[in-house]
Amino acid sequence: MSDAGQTSDGGATRGNPRPLTPEEIRQFRNEIGQRGDQVREMQQQFREAGRSEQELQAVLEAMARLEREGTYSDPTQVNLLQEKILNTLKRLEFGLRREVEGDSSRGATLRGADEVPEGYRELVEEYYRALARGRSGGGG
């Protein structure tokens, strides 16, 4: 659709983002540059490990677009690029996590959630006892 209020895949954009100030643009571009360096380091690690770098390359390409001055004249475009970067990195992280932890039938879990530092063990146990007392009162 060609409606300016929608993305190329037909989804609605998040409101009408305000234009960024020159200072915000400068800070944002500096941050993108630093994060780009980190992604390039990850890309090198992937290369050394013999892994596909395709998703990281897509992130770098979107980041390169965010480093261009003209991009910031369209706040909606900036939001779309940010979302593309975040979604790609989330997908990559999820795939790596599944590969490392295995495809558990339990679904997503927190690793080490039951490991509590010794000093907090009594507080955590009391917390669970308080929760149990609250449930036995018949509340939902």
* Each residue's pLDDT tens digit, 29-54: 999 999 999 999 999 998 998 888 88
Asked if pLDDT for residue 7 goes beyond 90, the answer is no
Q: Do residues 67 and 32 touch, judged by C-beta distance below 8 A?
A: yes
Q: What's the number of CA atoms in the CB half-sphere (13 Å) around residue 134?
A: 7
- What sign for the dihedral angle of Cα 30, 35, 41, 44? negative
Q: Mind listing the pLDDT tens digit for each residue in 50-106?
A: 888 889 999 999 999 988 878 888 888 888 999 999 999 999 888 888 888 876 555
pTM above 0.95, yes or no: no
pLDDT tens sequence across 11-20: 334 567 888 8
Cα–Cα distance between 5 and 96 in angstroms, integer? 35
Which of the 8 DSSP states describes residue 73?
A: G
